[in-house]
Structure 1
Amino acid sequence: MIFRSEPEHANRQAGEWLARLHADDRASEDETAFRAWLDADPSHQNAFERAAMVWDAVPGLSATDFAPPPPARVSRRAMLAGGGAVMLAGGLTLGWRQAYAGVYRTDVGEQRRLVLEDGSRVMLDTDTRIRFFVRNAVRTLALGAGRIDLDIAADPRPFVIDMGARRATARAGRLDLRREGDAVAITAIQGSARVETAGASVALAPGNRIAMAVGQPDRIDQPELDDLIAWQSGRLAFRDETLAHAAAEMNRYSTHALVVADPRAAALRLSGVYRVGDSEAFARSLALLLPVRVASDGQTIRISSTDR
C-alpha cells in the first residue's frame, strides 16, 4: 500500500481513519492497518492528532480509544432499527409517537419519529413534510420535501410513495427517501420497491439507490448504508466529498449558514463524521483540517481558501 505525505492528503486520510475507528461495527483488522498507516510517514501522526482533537471537540466520542466495545454496547445499526431517542438542535423526540392526523412536518434542525395508522414507522429529517392517507385499499405517503426513513408495515394493501413526478410501490421493507424539488433519491435498505422512472418501471433491489431528476438520466448505485443513515443519529458522514457539498448538507440543519466563498475552497475534499446543527463547530474543524480561513458575522459563516 502506498501512502502519500502531502498535508492535505494526510488530513483526508486522518478523517477517514477517524470515521472507521469510531464506527461501532469496525473490523478487528482496522487497528493493525491504522498502526501501519501511522508508521508510514511522520506527517500521519500529526494529522491524526489534529483530527482527533477536532473529533473530540465536535462529534463526541474519542476516536483514539481503540479498545473493543463492552458486550452490553448496542451497535449503531441495532439502535437505529430499535427506534432509540434522537436529540438534535431543534428539539428532542423520544420513542415513537402514534400518528393519525395525516400531515406531518419538521422545522429546520428538528427530527421526528412517527407510527402511521397502518403501523408503518417513519422518521422525518430536518425541514421535511409528508402526508399519509389510506384510500381504495391503497396506502399512500406523499413526500412533499425533505428526507425520511420509512419502515413499511407488512400488509396486503400496496404502499405507494408519491414524490411529485416520481412514484414507488412496495408492500413491506425499509426505504430511505429524499426529495429536493424535482430531484428524488430512493434507497432500498431492506426489502425492495418498484420505482416508476421516465417511461419505465424499475425493480430496486436491497442495497441499491436510484437518483432521479427532471432532464437528467436516472442513476443507480450502491451507497454505503451506514453513511447513508448516519443522519438518524444526528450526524453526517462524508467520504472524500467536496467542501461545497458538505457545507450544503450541513446548512440543511441550521439557520446559521455556511457560505463557501471561492472556487478553491469549494473544491477541497474532506472525510469524516460531523454532528449536525452546530455550523460554527464544523467550520472550526475545517480551519484545522483544511487550508481555509473562517469568518463569522453572527448569521453567516464564510469559508475561504488560504491559497488565493
Structure 2
Amino acid sequence: MPAKQFQPAPQQEALEWFSRLRQPGCDEGERQVFAAWCQVPQNAQAYAELETFWQQLQPAPARPQPRQLTARRSHLGKWLALVFLLVMGTLAYLYWPLMQRLGSEMHTDVGERRSLRLADGSTVHLDSASAMNVDLRGRTRQLHLVQGQVYLEVLLDGRAMEVDVGDARIQVFGTRLQIARFADHNELVVLSGKAMVVQGGEQRLVSAGERVTFDATRIDPVQKADMKTADSWRNGRLRATDMPLGQVLERLAGYQGQRLWMLDEQAAHRRVSGDFSLDRPAESLAALASTQQLQLQGVLDHWLIVR
C-alpha cells in the first residue's frame, strides 16, 4: 500500500499563524517564515479564509451617536473570536494524534500492542498508540513512523529499506531494530545488523547493541544499548535502568492515553530503575509516585500533572 505523509491541515496551521502573528514577540524572522509558508497555494487560501472569517466577526464602523453600545459590541466580537480560536486550538491539540493514527495504514489504540506481517515477509510489532505507513512497491522499501514505537524484523530480499522519522531518514542494513518517537526526541536501537541515521548533512552509523537519539536539529553520539530492557515493552513490561524519571512517567502515562505535564523540572531528570507493568499503568504510576514522593493529578483524562 502507498505510504501516506500526514501533516497538520492547512486550516490548523493557518490558525496557529493567525495567533502567532498577533503576539507582541513576533519578529521579522517569524514573518519571513510565514511568507514562505504562504507560497503554498493551499496554505495561502486557508489563511485568506481565516482572515475573511475574522473580518466578518468585526463590528461595523461606529456611528456617531451610540458610541458606548458600539464599543461593547466590538469587545464582545473580539472575545467571541478569541474563545473560538482557543477552543479550535485546544481540540486540534488534543485530537490530532488520534486523527493521525486513524489515518495511517497500520495503527494501535492506547494500551494495545499488535504484530503484523508485511507483504515482503518482514514483521512489524507496534507499541501502544503507534502508527506507521508502508510502501513496498519500489526498489527501496519505504516505511514512515507516524508516531509511537515499533520493533522491526526485516526480511532481506535484495532491496534496500528506509524508515522516515520526522525529518530524519534511517537506512536499514540489519534485520532487527527498534525505532521510537517520544515527546522531545526520537530513538533508534539496533539489535542485529546495522542502520544509518541521516538528517540533513549529518549521519550516524549504529551497529548491533548500540542506540542513538536524535531530534529535528541534531543527532546525538552513539551509545551502548541495554539489550535486556530495550524491547521489554513487547512483553508488557517497562524495565528501566538509570532512566530519567520524566521519561518513565511519560511512557506509563501514554499507556493510559495521557500527556505528561511535570511541574518540577529537576524531578524529571532524576534517575530511577525498576520493573513496571505497562498493562496496569495506573498501578505502576501510583507505586512510582509513592516511592518518589510525587503527587499525580489527572485532568479531563487527557493530561497527567505531576508535582
**Pairwise TM-score range, normalised by the shorter structure:** 0.5 to 0.7
Q: CA deviation at 1:124?
A: 0.4
Equivalent pair of 1:111/1:124 in contact (CA under 8 Å): yes
1:118 Cα deviation after fit: 0.2
Q: Secondary structure at the match of 2:176?
A: strand
Aligned to 1:142: 144
Q: 1:136 to 1:280 in 2, by over 3 A?
A: closer
- Corresponding residue number in structure 2 for 1:207: 209
**What secondary structure is seen at the aligned counterpart in 2 of 1:159?**
strand
More relative contact order in 1 or in 2 (CA 8 Å, sep 6+)? 1
The one-letter amino acid of 1:139's match is: R
Distance 1:112 1:180 in 2: 19
Match of 2:257 in 1: 255
Deviations 1:245-288 (A, max 9, x none): 22112112113566544456545442101001434312331354
> Equivalent residue for 1:76?
none
Structure 2 length as normaliser, TM-score?
0.58
Which residue identity is paired with 1:278? R
In structure 2, the residue corresponding to 1:246 is in which secondary structure? helix
Sort the Cα spacing of 1:232 and 1:198 in 2 relative to 1 into closer, same or farther, 3 A.
same
Map 1:3-152 onto structure 2 (within 5 A): 103-152=105-154
Mean alpha-carbon deviation: is it higher for 142-151 or for 255-264?
255-264
Out of 180, 190, 193, the residue aligned to residue 191 of structure 1 is 193
Structure with max Cα Rg: 2
2:227 maps to 225
Letter of the 1:151 counterpart: E
Q: String of CA shifts for 1:126-171, please: whole Å, max 9, x gaps.
A: 1111111123322111111111000100211111212231112235
Q: When the two structures are aligned, how many residues end up with a matched partner?
A: 203
1:219, distance to aligned residue in structure 2 (A): 2.6
CA 1:176–1:296 in structure 2 vs 1: closer, same or farther (change >3 Å)? closer
Higher helix share: 2
CA distance in 2, matches of 1:253, 1:302: 15
Q: Distance in 1 between matches of 2:111 and 2:200?
A: 33
Q: Which segments of 5 or more consecutive residues in structure 1 lack a partner in the other structure?
A: 1-101
- Residue 107 of structure 1 deviates from its aligned partner by 1.4
Between the aligned residues of both structures, percent identity stands at 26
Q: Give secondary structure in 1 for the equivalent of 2:178.
A: strand
Which residue of the partner structure matches residue 286 of structure 1? 288
154-163 vs 254-263, which moves further: 254-263
CA contact (8 A) 2:189 2:230 kept: no
For the residue of structure 1 that corresponds to 2:158, the secondary structure is coil
| Aligned partners of 1:230 and 1:236 also within 8 Å | yes
1:104: Cα distance to partner? Answer: 0.5
Q: TM-score, normalised by structure 1?
A: 0.58
